[in-house]
Amino acid sequence: MEIADLYIRVSTDEQADKGYSQRNQEEMLRKYCNLHAIQVRKVIYEDHSAKTFNRPQWKKYLHELKKHKGKSDLMLFTKWDRFSRNAGDAYQMINILRKCGVEPQAIEQPLDLSIPENKMMLAFYLAAPEVENDRRALNVFFGMRRARKEGRYMGLAPIGYENKTTEDGRKYIAPKEPEVGIMRWVFETLKTGQHNTDDVWRQARKKGLICSKSRFHTAIRNVVYCGKIFIPKYKDEESRFVKGQHEGIIPEPLFYDVQDILDGRGRHYRPKSITLPELPLRGFLICHVCGKILTGSKSKGRNQYYAYYHCFGGCKQRFRAEEVNKELIAELGKYSPKEEMLAFYENCLITSYNSITVDKSETRRQIMKEIKELDNRLSYARELLSTRKIEVEDFRAMKTDYTAKLEKLEVKLSGNMETKDSLESLLNKGIESLLRLDWRYIEGDVEEKRKIIGSMYPEKLRFDGKRLRTNRVNEIAMYIYKINKELSAKKDRTNRTLSNLSGRVGMTGFEPATPCTPCKCATGLRHIPKN
């Protein structure tokens, strides 16, 4: 009596759990064995694709056959597509089974492989499922490519988005909070060029972003965040970008600026600084005794830890961090402008903004020059192609390269075009930040506090135990301080910097004062009341 192993395969877990295919295959195979007096040794259940033989249950079965040869004579399955959907792999596996003493056979498509002509039928049985698979895969590929051309994002939503379905069954992606806010922060932070990618990933995880490092590196290269879809090259079609149907979360210029940073252009990392929340001034303070930059640390007290700014290397200067931080908040409060002077501050900000962005026009001219040069190169390449001096493949390569560069330059050019609305929104944001400077410092995290300190005090600070001092303060903040001081001095109509005269005067009569004695001099005005 022949001994057979039954091989039952479906493609997915869902078919195995909810479908009837496995039970139907087993019933047919057992009925066949009963009719032909074949003993069933074991049944192998598989829920894996037949594109390859890299299947868990099949590998276990093959390992057992090689270890214990002669246990079975046949391997039975219903059709050859249950065995394999890859003709090349199938022929190789048939030879391996035969070496182990096992003959594979499909009960619905029986073939006597000892007859040479039957190998042609075997080729047909194996090639037909493979062709079917390839056709189905090609249809899916063209369908997804057509969807991308129409601006639809296909597949699992990237970080910051979520997959959704409309009422009519159409799938799309939409921004998802709070991940979308974190991803905006990621791109803004990377644009500064002062943090490497791994540091930004770690900070983003602290903010609540859940993703692996490799997925994060892939995400920040994804053009989907600026509202575009990438269509890869296929045969004669060149790769290109199209406008997506989804909502972009960052501007295109920001995305391309970040890509330049990641590619090594414009990168300027600053030294890594790890700061405790209690020590925001660490790295900004100079010892007023020896001139070294103060460091900071926490010491264990009786009941809690206390933070200190202190010197090192033999210098014993040491200050309670709480006292220094309070003094800084008091200093920042001096630079909050009076609301009645907003118009003047707007003029100051406009002047400062114009001085900072004075090179905008030069940048635009440079970008336009590069665009013109690329257009000339592209035109020259077309002339070379028309005169058959270069091959078509070379022209396509040059066209793809030049087109990609032109798209980036055009995006940068549009990003450098300033409008009145953007300037007004910038002014409103700047004034709002100035009006609440000390509050923003108190409520902000360590990074924001250090950003405020760095923008307000271009040079290092010194603390002598009572007051904070510095050689230079931000110019606009210094003007605000001076104006506030003079405004507060004139509340009683007195300028304390010029005179000690009281603002309270008599009803009438002022005349120049004359000295009473030769040793005295006139010091101001004398009040002469009426009789």
Of 234, 262, 290, the residue that ends a domain is: 262
Same domain, 225 and 189: yes
Ranges 57-71, 78-92, 165-179, 355-369: which has the least confidence: 355-369
- CA distances for 14 relative to 6, 10, 58, 350, 484, angstroms: 21, 9, 19, 65, 74
Instruction: Say yes or no: 123 and 10 in one domain.
Output: yes
* Same structural domain, 130 and 181: no
DSSP-based three-state secondary structure for 30: helix
Specify whether 119 is located in the same domain as 167.
no
User: What are the DSSP calls for 115-136, one per residue?
Assistant: STTHHHHHHHHHHHHHHHHHHH
> Does the pTM of the predicted model rise above 0.95?
no
| Domain assignment present for 294 | no
pLDDT tens, 28-43?
Answer: 999 999 999 999 999 9
101 with 12, same domain: the answer is: yes
Domain boundary among 262, 288, 321: 262
pLDDT in tens, 120-143: 888 888 888 888 888 888 898 888
Q: What percent of the chain has pLDDT above 90?
A: 16
Residue 25 DSSP SS3: helix
Same domain for 176 and 125: no
Same domain, 169 and 211: yes
33 and 125 assigned to the same domain: yes
Cα(507)–Cα(140) distance, integer angstroms: 97
Residue with tokens 């900000």: 349
Strand partners, 105: 76
In a domain, 7, yes or no: yes
pLDDT band at 510 (very low <50, low <70, confident <90, very high): very low
28 neighbors 36 (Cβ within 8 angstroms): no
Domain span including residue 60: 3-134
Q: Using alpha carbons, list the distances in angstroms from residue 200 to 216, 266, 269, 447.
A: 10, 17, 12, 12
Spatial CB neighbours of 85, under 8 Å, sequence gap ≥ 6: 49, 50, 51, 126, 129, 130, 132, 133
Helix (H), strand (E) at residue 171? strand 171-175
Q: What is the structure's pLDDT at 314? A: 81
**Greater confidence, 403 or 499?**
403
Q: Are residues 130 and 7 in the same domain?
A: yes
Give Cβ neighbours of residue 224 (< 8 Å, ≥ 6 apart). Answer: 153, 158, 161, 244, 246, 248
Query: Based on the number of CB atoms within 10 Å of its own CB, is 214 exposed (0-12), middle (13-18) or buried (19 or more)?
Result: exposed
Q: Is 427 exposed, middle or buried (0-12, 13-18, 19+ CB in 10 A)?
A: middle
- pLDDT value at position 520? 43
Would you say residue 527 lies in a domain? no
CATH of the domain at 221: 3.90.1750.20
- Tell me which DSSP letter residue 224 carries: G
Asked if the structure places residue 112 within a domain, the reply is: yes
Give the confidence band of 498 by pLDDT, cuts at 50, 70, 90.
Answer: very low
Last residue of a domain, one of 262, 294, 326: 262
Radius of gyration of the chain (CA): 39
Q: Is 484 contained in some domain?
A: no
What pLDDT is stored for residue 496 in this prediction? 44
Residue 305 inside a domain? The answer is no
Give the mean model confidence (pLDDT) for residues 432-436.
59
The predicted structure's pLDDT at residue 421? 47
**pLDDT at site 161:** 92
Condensed to tens digits (0 to 9), the pLDDT of residues 65-118 reads 888 888 889 999 999 989 988 888 888 999 999 999 999 999 998 988 888 888
What is the total count of domains within the chain?
Answer: 2
Query: Which tens digits make up the pLDDT trace of 301-359?
Result: 778 888 888 898 888 888 888 888 888 888 877 776 666 666 766 776 677 666 666 66
pLDDT: which is higher, 391 or 525: 391
DSSP 399-433: HHHHHHHHHHHHHHHHHT---HHHHHHHHHHHHHH
The backbone torsions φ and ψ at residue 84, rounded to the nearest 5 degrees and listed phi first, read -165, 150
103 and 178 belong to one structural domain: no
| CB contact at 8 A, 162 and 120 | no
The whole-number pLDDT of residue 166 equals 86
Residue indicated by tokens 């069954």: 169
Does 219 fall in a domain?
yes
d(CA 72, CA 105): 13
Looking at the structure, tell me whether residues 9 and 94 fall in a common domain. Answer: yes
CATH of residue 20:
3.40.50.1390
The three-class DSSP label of residue 7 is strand
Are 215 and 108 in a shared domain? Answer: no
Q: Sorting pLDDT into bands at 50, 70 and 90, what band is 516?
A: very low
Is residue 249 domain-resident?
yes
